[in-house]
Amino acid sequence: MIGRLNHIAIAVPDLQKAMGKYRDMLGASVSAPQALPEHGVTVVFVDTGNTKVELLEPLGAASPVAGFLAKNPDGGMHHVCFEVPDIAGAVRHLVAGGARVLGDGKPKTGAHGLPVLFLHPKDFDGVLIELEERAV
Ligand code: CO
């Protein structure tokens, strides 16, 4: 069901600093910051050729990433995102199998303007999984 690894997301305490390190020290191409108020984050994408690294910084008081950074003040790996061709079908299959979808269970629009949703990390060995609908 899942396709390509679209990105690995890392929560960071300071997005400008993190961007600078990926750009200047690691020599990577880094996108401009994008605010996603619906998700409570500001993101940039680092192009690594075969996939991307998403750097996330909390946006707003209710940001889900603020709690993560309170527990991991230096930052850390936050989620992995897999592409799926049919997100509604994927949700039906996952829920039937006992997996929990976060939030109201309905996809939201993600950083790439495509439908995304998140699966409960307790159902996937402690890893938060994002699914992004993308035609294969
Ligand atoms: Co993501």
What confidence tens digit (pLDDT) does each residue in 19-61 have?
A: 999 999 999 999 999 999 988 999 999 999 999 999 999 998 8
How far, in Å, is the centroid of ligand 1 from the Cα of 83?
A: 11
For the annotated catalytic residues, the residue numbers are: 130
- Homologous superfamily of 5-133: 2,3-Dihydroxybiphenyl 1,2-Dioxygenase, domain 1 (3.10.180.10)
Rounded Cα distance, 19 and 97, in Å: 39
Which of 59-68, 71-80, 95-104, 120-129 has the lowest average pLDDT?
Answer: 59-68
- pTM recorded for the entire structure: 0.93
How far, in Å, is the centroid of ligand 1 from the Cα of 133?
A: 12
Average pLDDT over residues 70-75: 96
Report yes or no: 119 and 69 within 8 Å, Cβ to Cβ. Answer: no
How far, in Å, is the centroid of ligand 1 from the Cα of 90?
A: 17
5: pLDDT strictly greater than 80:
yes
Helical H segments across 26-86, by residue range: 64-71
Rounded Cα distance, 23 and 30, in Å: 6
Rounded Cα distance, 32 and 102, in Å: 28
Parse the chain into domains and list their residue ranges.
5-133
Rounded Cα distance, 86 and 109, in Å: 14
pLDDT on residue 136: 67
Tokens of 27: 């020599």
